[in-house]
Structure 1
């Protein structure tokens, strides 16, 4: 996982041009004004979902992973934490669904925690399970973009 801001991430050259297309979208100045919804960036290879939601207590959420896409989770406004851990050895709670590209897991004993606040992002690889949307303190409304980059 990479935690950084969208303006400094170029130093990583994380994989290829698909990532640069996603980062370019995340550097737009109008992100706070975009309507909630899906935005095509490069067909099904790269797209973004503008989301608004209220964070929830961790106990109400699940670990998930994806096989087809990396997640780039970018916080426009608000704060949340999410947990992450390698999928290796995790107990599957809900088998992989090809249509929605998601698999859910039982909570592991231990995992890492990342906090996202305004302007921060995290890149999550397919082999990393993550539990997003966790309230950092009291639940609050956040505005976030999840860019998806095909493996």
Structure 2
């Protein structure tokens, strides 16, 4: 897992070219003007998914992981609490193979990161994450989830 702000993300230059393409797209794109939807960045290897939603209480969200992709989750506006924990040892609740999604039962212990405008977090297949959570009061969030193929 890697947590940062877009302003310094490229400082950590140890990642593959695919990640750099995602960071570049985030920096150069007027995300706030984009409608929700999917935007190819580099074929099917790197795809941006623009989302808009209102944050929810923690008991309304679920931890999830992906088998085929890393996520770069970037908050363009708003703020959310973002749950994090290791995938190892979690009990599977549901698998949705066609969407590369695995949901888990709530773990006994987990942490969270506050994501505010301009913040991003990179989650690997080994990282369970629980996005879209209220940070204080419910608020509208515009987020980009960049899917980076393994």
Shorter chain as denominator, the TM-score bin is over 0.9
TM-score of the pair, normalised by structure 2:
0.96
Provide the aligned C-alpha RMSD in A: 1.0
Deviates more, 1:14-23 or 1:46-55: 14-23
2:112 alignment partner in structure 1? 113
- CA shift in 2, pair 1:14/1:112, >3 Å: farther
Match of 1:49 in 2: 49
The secondary structure found in structure 2 opposite 1:99 is helix
Q: Secondary structure at the match of 2:32?
A: helix
The runs of 5 or more residues in structure 2 that have no matched partner are none
CA distance change for structure 1 residues 14 and 59 in 2, over 3 Å: closer, same or farther?
farther
Q: Identify if the C-alpha distance between structure 1 residues 146 and 14 changes in structure 2 by more than 3 Å, giving closer, same or farther.
A: farther
Moved runs in structure 1, 4+ residues, more than 6 A? none
Secondary structure of the corresponding residue to residue 98 of structure 2: coil
How many residue pairs match? The answer is 150
For structure 1, the residue ranges without an aligned partner over 5 or more in a row are none
The question of 1:150 aligning with 2:149 is answered: yes
Q: Where do residues 4-83 of structure 1 align in structure 2 (5 Å cutoff)?
A: 4-83=4-83
Aligned with 1:64: secondary structure?
Answer: strand
TM-score (norm 1): 0.95
Decide which moves more: 98-107 or 8-17. Answer: 8-17
Distance across 2 between alignment mates of 1:68 and 1:146 = 14
